[in-house]
Structure 1
Amino acid sequence: MSEQSVTYMDLRFHTPAEQKRKRRPKHTRDTEFSEQEVTYSHLKFHIPSEQQKQQTSTSAESTDYPTPTSSWLVTVILGLLCMALLVTAGVLGAKFLQLSHRVRRQNEELIEKQAILGNFTQLQETLKNCTNQRDDLQAQKANFSKVVSRKGEKCSLCSEGWIEHGGKCYHFSEERRTWKKSQEYCSSHNSRLLVIKNKEELDFINRLVCFHWIGLSRGGAATAMKWEDGTAHSTDLFQVKKETPGESCVALNAEGGAIRKCAEEFRYICEKKPS
């Protein structure tokens, strides 16, 4: 309906006067139909041209659909949003990786610190034991000094710096050496590293010892522990703790013998017969 333009005009109907009716012959019944005078006006219908239809269609389409420029702008905005999301995701991923590495490093450092703390606690206990034994050693040394001085008055058979007990002379070193160096030192003084023969001698040594090398070692995993004089070690005297494969030497403390690497440095005990 919108494609046509319609123009409406008024239709006027006119009835003639009575006189004009009388003048008409009666036989003209066929013409009675024209008793009314009708005036027609033109009805104009306007059909738009093809160009106008196309313009109307284009106008309607432009109203219903966005222009190409608008579509391009929307595409660009969506692309920028996608890129922003990707960049944000990348940054968050990098931050997460950094935090993961940091947490892992902190956990590793915490484990190391716990291990160090455990070793430190163990060292503190060892130091405490050695300190107590040192105090005991100093007290025993004072007592033995008195004994040595009294025996000196009776002409002691042991050299200066040696303690006589049970028919032997003992030297408790103050300096630290490896097991081999300790053995060489004792040999240079016509003595040997300590060889314990019985419980009575062990009790005497335990009052003065604090991680001292003694004359007990082995040459390898296939060999047994032997004393300097070649005799086998008897567990009836004391237990040797923490045996390890390979060459090893024994350091003695009040709690018993401890297997240590021969290259470590400890104090040592020499023994010899009175001269």
Structure 2
Amino acid sequence: MTLDDENQPDASSREKKLYRLVAVSFGLLCVLQAALNIFLRHALTLQLNSLTGERDELKRELNVWVHYSKQGWRYFNGNVYYISSIKKTWKASRDDCRQKGTDLMIINSEEEQDFTRQLKNNMWIGLTDSETEGTWKWVDGTPLTTSYWMDGEPNNSDLKEDCVEVKRT
């Protein structure tokens, strides 16, 4: 036996160390896999709960829309509109809306105004200058900044028009 042979571990000892290293590595991989499985299961459970909540909310909203549509409400672009078949004054129409927990329509886009023209021949909307003559405001108090009517509208014909009506074109 040489001096080098005495400093070298025998083959059996090297194999044992290699087996231990493989076993420890395999054990660590198993622990890592278990941790990853637990994390992914938790993440998927959270996502499933979120999706289930969203589904339930959509079902509730659908039931609300179905309920309103059966009562004559119309849906457009995320809003519902009730169009009464009874002819009333602007004030009486607004009072009726308020009793239903809403108010007269505020038009925010040209598409929304085009939609209103399809609903009924003449229809009151939530625009008035009754507070200050010539200063048009929506029923929520915001001033009229953009309109989609013909030039000169809304106007105050003969100082008798304090409210706005959409007419079918």
- Give the corresponding residue for 2:121: 210
Alignment of 1:224 with 2:135, yes or no, is yes
Please state how far the C-alpha of 1:214 moved relative to its aligned partner.
Answer: 0.9
RMSD of aligned Cα (Å): 2.6
Which runs of 4 or more aligned residues in structure 1 lie more than 6 Å from their structure 2 counterparts after TM superposition?
none
C-alpha separation in 2, matches of 1:219 and 1:247: 9
Please state how far the C-alpha of 1:236 moved relative to its aligned partner.
Answer: 3.9
Please state how far the C-alpha of 1:250 moved relative to its aligned partner.
Answer: 1.2
Long gaps (5+) in structure 1: 1-150, 256-275
Structure with more of its chain in strand, by fraction: 1
The secondary structure found in structure 2 opposite 1:155 is helix
Please state how far the C-alpha of 1:241 moved relative to its aligned partner.
Answer: 5.2
C-alpha separation in 1, matches of 2:129 and 2:155: 14
- Are the counterparts in 2 of residues 217 and 249 from structure 1 also a CA contact under 8 Å? yes
- Give the corresponding residue for 1:238: 149
Pair 1:179–1:248, CA change in 2 (3 A): same
- Give the corresponding residue for 1:251: 165
Please state how far the C-alpha of 1:227 moved relative to its aligned partner.
Answer: 0.9
Please state how far the C-alpha of 1:181 moved relative to its aligned partner.
Answer: 0.8
C-alpha separation in 2, matches of 1:190 and 1:241: 27
The share of aligned pairs that are identical, in percent, is 30
Structure exhibiting the larger radius of gyration computed from Cα positions: 1
The secondary structure found in structure 1 opposite 2:166 is strand
Normalising by structure 2, we get a TM-score of: 0.53
Matches within 5 A, 1:13-162: 155-157=63-65, 159=68, 160-162=71-73
C-alpha separation in 2, matches of 1:247 and 1:253: 15
Partner AA of 1:227 in structure 2: W
- Give the corresponding residue for 1:132: none
Pair 1:232–1:161, CA change in 2 (3 A): same
C-alpha separation in 2, matches of 1:177 and 1:249: 13
